[in-house]
């Protein structure tokens, strides 16, 4: 106990002597850290204010866009864009005949050239550009969905489904076999093989987009009809009833 008391007194005297130096060191440290901390928190406040402003602007823009770009108009825009892509894809290269086989690996520092291709054809060549007209019809149907709803929009969406399904049938039954057919090039070149180019994928995606847009129109929740009789009954249940007067209550009890 004597030793612990002695240690306590020595430590207390040491802390009392060191207190002014520690206080001066803390004040010096605070004076050095105060300006950087002020700048840092000021920058954080400025960034927060900027982010809040951007968030408010995005919210206002989203609210304004939601009033213009309704689900019906968005679906019509998808149908029209897919129809335009279908028209453009008919003029893209969709198949070619590749001469030879590409090497699997190459030594370091050596670039391999792609095998040459011949007999390159556009997508519309296989079916006499019939899908150009179908794509134009799909664009018109998409515009009809954008500008008119109700029965007109439903008929336009149904027409888009039929046009997209017909396009898929033409692509899969005519374009695909024709694109994979080497033809007369097999007798002219050894190791010739038919390959499908980006045009085939473009027209396939466009036809699928037309069908998808028409299906989405009928799958929209806003097209679910509400029973007017059920809505009227619900309103009657919510309507507050008038409390009967004392005379009427006495009359009913009598």
Residue 244 in any domain: the answer is no
Polymer length of the chain: 254
pLDDT tens string, the chain, 254 residues long: the values are: 888 887 888 888 888 888 888 888 888 888 888 888 889 989 999 999 999 999 999 988 888 877 777 888 889 999 999 999 999 999 988 887 777 655 555 555 565 556 666 778 888 888 888 899 999 999 999 999 988 878 888 899 999 999 999 999 999 999 888 888 776 655 565 566 778 888 899 999 999 999 999 998 888 654 545 454 544 445 555 555 555 555 555 455 55
Q: Using CB atoms within 10 A of its CB, is residue 157 exposed (0-12), middle (13-18) or buried (19+)?
A: buried
Q: Residue 34: inside a domain, yes or no?
A: yes
66 alpha carbon, distance to own chain's centre: 15
CA distance 65 to 90: 33
- Per DSSP, what are the bridge partners of residue 93? 122
CA torsion sign for 116, 184, 119, 175 is negative
Q: How many domains does the chain have?
A: 2
For residue 226, being part of any structural domain is answered with: no
Q: Which domain holds residue 124?
A: 70-101+114-220
In this predicted structure, what is the pLDDT of residue 228?
A: 45
Tell whether 49 and 74 lie within a shared domain. no
CATH of the domain at 89: 1.20.140
162 and 86 together in one domain: yes
Nearest residue to 207 via CA among 164, 170, 166, 159: 164
Q: Is the pTM of this model over 0.75?
A: no
Give residue 150's pLDDT.
81
Would 160 be classed as within a structural domain?
A: yes
- Residues 126, 193, single domain; the answer is yes
**65 assigned to some structural domain:** no
Residues 76 and 200 in one domain: yes
Residue 206 shares a structural domain with residue 124: yes
Q: Is residue 253 part of a domain?
A: no
DSSP 229-253: HHHHHHHHHHSPPPPPPHHHHHHHH
Are residues 13 and 77 both part of a single domain? no
pLDDT at position 180 is 83
Does 92 lie in the same domain as 8?
A: no
3-class DSSP assignment, residue 149: coil
Contact in structure between 115 and 98 (CB atoms under 8 Å)? yes
Residues 88 and 187 in one domain: yes
Dihedral, 172, 177, 180, 185 alpha carbons, nearest 10: -150
96 lies in the same domain as 156: yes
């Amino acid at each position: 106990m004597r030793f612990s008391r002695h240690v306590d007194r020595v430590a207390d005297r040491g802390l009392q002597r060191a207190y002014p130096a520690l206080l001066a060191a803390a004040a010096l440290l605070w004076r050095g850290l105060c300006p950087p901390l002020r700048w840092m928190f000021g920058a954080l406040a400025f960034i927060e204010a900027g982010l809040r402003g951007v968030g408010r602007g995005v919210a206002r823009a989203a609210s304004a866009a939601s009033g213009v770009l309704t689900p019906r108009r968005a679906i019509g825009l998808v149908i029209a864009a897919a129809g335009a892509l279908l028209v453009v894809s008919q003029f893209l290269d969709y198949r070619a005949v590749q001469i030879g086989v590409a090497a699997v690996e190459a030594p370091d520092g050596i670039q391999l050239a792609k095998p040459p291709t011949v007999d390159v054809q556009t997508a519309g060549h296989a079916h006499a550009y019939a899908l150009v007209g179908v794509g134009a019809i799909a664009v018109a149907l998409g515009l009809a969905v954008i500008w008119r709803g109700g029965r007109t929009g439903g008929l336009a969406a149904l027409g888009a489904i039929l046009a997209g399904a017909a396009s898929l049938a033409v692509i899969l039954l005519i374009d695909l076999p024709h694109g994979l057919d080497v033809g007369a090039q097999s007798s002219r070149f050894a190791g010739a093989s038919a390959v499908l180019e980006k045009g085939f994928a473009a027209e396939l995606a466009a036809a699928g987009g037309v069908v998808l847009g028409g299906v989405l129109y009928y799958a929209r929740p806003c097209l679910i009809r509400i029973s007017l009789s059920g809505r009227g009954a619900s309103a009657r249940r919510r309507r507050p009833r008038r409390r009967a007067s004392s005379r009427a209550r006495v009359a009913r009890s009598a």
